[in-house]
Amino acid sequence: MSRGIHLGIIGLVITAGRLLLAQEPVSTAPLQSEALRSWNPRATPIVHVVSKVRHAVVNIHSERGSDGSASSGRVNGMGTGIIIDPRGYVVTNYHVIEDVMALRVRLADGSSFHARVLARDPETDLALVKFESPKPLQVAPLGTARDLMVGETVIAIGNAFGYEHTVTVGVVSAINRDVSLNKDLGYKSLIQTDASINPGNSGGPLLNVLGEVVGLNVAIRREAQGIGFAIPAETLIRVSGEMLAGRRRRLNSGMTLRDELMLPRQESQSLRRVVVERVEPESIAAKAGLKAGDILTKADDSWLGSTLDWERCLIERKPGEPLDLCFARSGQQLTGKLNVDRPVTVANPDDLAWSRIGIRVTPVSGEQVSKIHPQLHGGLYVTEVQPESHAAKAGIIKGDTLIGLHQWEMLTIDNLVFVLNHNELPALNPIKFFVLRGGQLHRGLVQCLSGQ
């Protein structure tokens, strides 16, 4: 199967003889050398952008079985990823980490770390990877593909053929391209670029001249020259947020948020803002004073520029730990305290899984599962399958270890309940599942009954 490779393009704007950079949070501050800070006629806008963003790009090295299983010979792979959180959360392409046995990331400073896959979304070809860093990391500034112009300069950074942090430059060739690489692999609404893209660039950033990620490189036409593609930033932000939400152990805020783009934007204006779309009556958010239409601006010490920023604030938060919020309403700046907690689950989790999908499960330790597949860290052992149920019809059998539903890992019963109670479950059906059986990874589609 042809595999995609993506590069990012970074740009800056020259106005009245001076260089303008997009305003951004502290966590994405550029790490420029002294030479670049001083005037240098050779330091072009592209040089400044690369210096600004390269530390938020990681090179990914993987090992997988030659036939996709842990029992076969090992094959080395390569790819790229971008850091979306200072604690070591990285987004890359799903095909970069698919069926990997071991995973390492290498930073621009040469340091290398073991990494693990947290979540997958094969449909959009995105995945979430985590590694432990001894210090906070630079985060890639996220832009938008909504205002991209055909002919606009873009920059790609990636692990091309294993040559780490390779930089290429091109233009936006087209937008909203639907691409089918073969009968099994297709994409919707991609960005097309002529920046040089090679094997290993998959998962790397496509950047505009402000140094913002406008896309994630994903595919090339191997029989063509100068034709590469990238997943738009909007899809990257939405899916990354969903994958993080699946990792935060069902912490509930009692509100629904949405991203709102500020286009056309002024020089000093933020690109997007986080708007409260709905607040559940008597919920935690309602008690904090939030209402539909409010604009969230800050959570504790973190500025909120997207719903992905919001999920980053919750990802490692403990249930019941208060969160100080700043928000705007009708031009007024307001504050509130949100005690984010777990929702009350009325249904017994075991009964819920039995009624919605037709299985009973029990958690399996990460040690047991990692002996079979080193990249996995736990799962749910299927102890019983209801005859003629959706699970039975999908091919799930007693003795399987359920390791994933949709893009979420199944490490605990809470993970399973999160998916089965998800308010978008009807739209996800039939839902992808991943199971271990006889040491091999199997996948399929299963219908899940909704409680709505």
User: How many Å is the maximal CA-CA distance in the chain?
Assistant: 73
Fold agreement between 248-339 and 349-446 = yes
The CB density around residue 77, as the number of other CB atoms within 10 Å, is 21
Across 88-184, the runs of DSSP E, i.e. the strands, are 89-93, 100-106, 112-121, 126-131, 153-160, 163-182
Instruction: Tell me the pLDDT tens digit for each residue of 337-379.
Output: 988 876 544 456 677 888 888 998 988 877 777 777 776 778 8
Catalytic residue, chosen from 125, 194, 259, 400, is 125
pLDDT digits (tens, 9 = 90+) for 9-56: 333 332 333 333 333 343 444 444 444 555 788 889 999 999 999 999
pLDDT of 15 reads 30
Q: Which residues of the chain have pLDDT under 70?
A: 1-38, 65-75, 182-184, 247-251, 267-269, 342-349, 375, 450-452
| pLDDT of amino acid 50 | 95
Give the per-residue pLDDT at 388. 86
Active site residue 95: yes
| Domain range summary for the chain, segments of one domain joined by + | 1-243, 248-339, 349-446
The structural architecture, per CATH, of the domain 349-446 is Roll (2.30)
pLDDT of residue 26: 37
Q: Of 6, 95, 165, 406, which one is the catalytic site residue?
A: 95
Contacts of 6 (CB under 8 A, 6+ apart): 80, 93, 156, 158, 197, 201, 202, 203, 204, 206, 215, 216, 217, 218, 219, 228, 229, 230, 231
CATH, range 248-339: 2.30.42.10
The one catalytic residue in 202, 240, 306, 389 is: 202
Q: Which of 161, 162, 223, 219 is nearest to 195 (CA)?
A: 219
Q: Is 270 a catalytic residue?
A: no
Q: Which CATH architecture has domain 1-243?
A: Beta Barrel (2.40)
What one-character-per-residue DSSP string does 76-94 give? Answer: EEEEEEEEEETTTEEEEEH
